[in-house]
Chain A
């Protein structure tokens, strides 16, 4: 028995130390507005959605003088727990959920904390204390589709397959949100170029670059020379394929140009940073608006980046984008509607 006395003494000293440390650190008050953000499961470093949201938070920190806490969940199952942990502290002016797969969890947590303000980006949650920010997905598909449709005719460019006019798009999953992007892309490409053929496919996973690369290579084999990757982290594989084969790739969500400076033609920008910033600003100005907030080109939440786009093409596309922003062009959101829509436009 005497053998265990020493460890026990050691243990009690250590325990006391831990408890004292714990008590001492309680009761620290923060004066600045405090925001919490729960990222999507892709995590930071996705060079896309989460990174863009993080940029927006950092900008809000600098320009709006807020403080924020962030968390990167590993699995869908963690969302509810993490949102709950944030909400329970009752010290956040706003809790932001990034990504549509947090909808279930936010539904539960927002009901349990009716006085807490929440915002969710990229999907809608129907609750009186949740502001949902969703995008007119087809609009950005339309813009990059138009760029692709025009670019594929530039046969002088070594990255363009001269005898075919085929462009492609690979989506992350076969869901309405991504299908709207694809529909917009097809509409955009065919609107500016009736001779273009558009191929599309879905990876089925947001974080499977290897599979996406395989699919991209199959498309490039068929003569696709401009390929849009609307597939989250999976898209990195498709960009790599385009770089290796020296064709054009179009990035998604944030500017992915640095990944392949000679091959990223443009990016279908989802300006999540602006969105997150808007959500924070709304709360600070006491203009928090529960319900659905639709964001498109007009709101500065969608667009494209210049990268390698020739000046004459970007000038033409800017005109189209202005028409979309003003509501003159209503881009179809369903792939089946594209053909009738083109006919109605006289194309």
Chain B
């Protein structure tokens, strides 16, 4: 039953993507561009050849982490808009730690740097979690605000303390032993994508098989009932935000250690925000984060060649991405609304 539902949801998503592309085609045509050229470039840019496939994977990797981060917070009924900021603190912390531990053997160095990045993200996730649990401050507001703090703080720290001599504000390049190993030679596909899949599996296991995961879900579905049932709602809220923050922090760590090899201020083209879209498409199923992240990675990678060789502005590509979210997420939205109505009706019936 579960599998059947999964398959039907997947089939629906694919149809929704195609529909979104069709509407996108109308937009591209109406803006005066060649639709055929645009979409052939989109396709070859995302899947045509080793480099294109590699670029798709590279661009999916941070989205896999940020998508997982947001999707995990959803499970606890929390909306983590702060993945972008958590990504930045994770990225800078990993870069600095990886640079500072040059004397350690590479495996340890990379491992500690990854943990440090996750820790920094968790710390930044702790703040809104704690504020929500103790003061009832809404996490959407606090996480949005912390994004600014994190982005500007990391930029300031790089400029003031960790700047590479030269015209560009950035840290020095990580030495070979501080980088994540390359999986496909000559591309930037790193071990990061594997770590991402492991993270999905791990959190899925936590959700399904552990007391913590069960309680987080209960809090997500109805905090009052959870409280009544003896669950420590405050503690679970803080823990869920910290795990979510840690995963988003890893997005930054992996990007710095596997792709950029240095921290550059404002390096992220909004991975944290695209992660929200990934999570919305994935819905309640953490495994679905993987195909959703790859979908957006492919749109990003193909969008690049669309811009390069078909002359399509990136803005149009972003609109097509918006359409994809709209079409794929529509049933989730519908179900939410419909489900809500059903509940109201049931409630009314009992009276």
Question: Pick the contact of B36 from A21, A69, A72, A84 — CB < 8 Å?
Answer: A21
Name the interface residues of A71-87: CB closer than 8 Å to any CB of B: 71-72, 74-78, 81-82, 84-86
Q: Bound complex: CA of A164 vs CA of B167, how far in Å?
A: 34
Tell me the smallest distance from the CB of A24 to a CB of chain B, in Å.
Answer: 7
Residue of A nearest to B301 (CB): A81
Cross-chain contact B7 with A69 (CB below 8 angstroms): no
Partner of A84, one of B8, B51, B268, B309: B51
Q: Decide yes or no: A25 and B37 within 8 Å by CB, A11-B15, A71-B308 being known contacts.
A: yes
Chain B residue at smallest Cβ distance from A176: B167
Among the 9-residue stretches B38-46, B109-117, B131-139, B286-294, the one with 4 or more Cβ atoms under 8 Å from chain A is B38-46
Point out the residue from A10, A75, A86, A173 that lies within 8 Å of B267, measured CB to CB.
Answer: A75
Binding site for B on A (CB under 8 A): 1, 3-4, 7-8, 10-11, 14-15, 18-19, 21-22, 24-26, 36, 69-72, 74-78, 81-82, 84-86, 88-89, 100-101, 104, 112, 123, 173, 175-177, 204
In the bound complex, CA of A77 to CA of B268 (Å)? 8
Q: How many Å lie between the Cα of A72 and that of B304 in the bound state?
A: 10
With a CB–CB cut-off of 8 A, which chain A residues contact B45? 85
Chain A contacts for B269, CB-based, 8 A: 74-75, 77-78
Contact indicator A81/B55 (Cβ below 8 Å): yes
Q: Contact check, A15 vs B308: say whether CB atoms are below 8 A apart.
A: no
Interchain CA distance A177-B68 in the complex, whole Å: 43
Docked complex Cα distance between A19 and B4 (Å): 28
In-complex Cβ contact of B168 among A7, A21, A86, A101 (8 A): A101
Q: Which residues of B contact A21 (CB under 8 A)?
A: 36, 39-40
Of A69, A74, A173, A177, the residue contacting B309 (CB under 8 A) is A69
A81 lies within 8 A of B167 (CB): no
Number of inter-chain CB pairs below 8 Å: 94
Report the Cα distance A15→B14, complex, angstroms: 10
Interface pair A76/B314, CB less than 8 Å apart: no
Check B186 against A85 for contact (C-beta < 8 Å). Answer: no
Q: In this complex, what residue of B is CB-closest to A104?
A: B168
Shortest A138–chain B CB gap in Å is 16
Q: Which residue of A lies closest to B265 (CB)?
A: A76
Pick 13 A–B contacts, CB within 8 A, sort by A: A4-B12, A7-B11, A7-B15, A14-B18, A22-B43, A25-B37, A75-B268, A75-B269, A76-B266, A77-B267, A77-B269, A78-B269, A175-B166
Task: Say yes or no for B264: interface residue by CB 8 A criterion.
Answer: yes
Q: How far is the CA of A177 from the CA of B168 in the complex (A)?
A: 12
| Contact between chains at B51 and A88 (CB < 8 Å) | yes
Q: Is B305 at the interface (CB under 8 A from chain A)?
A: yes
CB-CB < 8 A to B4: which residues of A? Answer: 1
Residues of B with C-beta under 8 A to A26: 40
B324 to chain A, nearest CB (A): 14
A residues in contact with B170, CB < 8 Å: 76
Which of A22, A74, A89, A100 has the most C-beta atoms of chain B within 10 angstroms of its own C-beta?
A: A22
Inter-chain CA distance A234–B216, complex, in Å, is 47
Which residues of B303-335 are within 8 A (CB) of A? 304-305, 307-309, 311, 314
Give Cα A21 to B55, complex, Å: 22
Q: In the complex, given contacts A11-B11, A204-B159, what are 18 additional A-B residue pairs having Cβ atoms less than 8 angstroms apart? A: A1-B4, A4-B8, A10-B15, A14-B22, A19-B43, A22-B40, A22-B48, A26-B40, A71-B308, A75-B267, A78-B269, A81-B55, A82-B308, A84-B51, A85-B304, A85-B308, A100-B167, A101-B168
B260 within 8 A of A: yes
Given A75-B269, A177-B167: A25 in contact with B40 (beta carbons within 8 A): yes
If A82-B308, A101-B168 touch, whether A76 touches B15 (CB-CB below 8 Å) is: no
* Cβ contact within 8 Å between B39 and A77: no
User: Measured between C-beta atoms, what is the minimum distance from B236 to chain A in Å?
Assistant: 36
Interface pair B168/A76, CB less than 8 Å apart: yes
A204 to B168, CA, bound (A): 11
- Residue pair A82, B304 in contact (C-beta under 8 Å): yes
Partner of A18, one of B37, B39, B55, B168: B39
Expressed in whole angstroms, the Cα–Cα distance for A173 and B166 within the complex equals 11
B contact residues around A75 at 8 Å (CB) = 264, 266-269
Provide the bound-state CA to CA distance between A204 and B163, in Å: 13
Chain B residues near A112: list those with CB within 8 A. 186
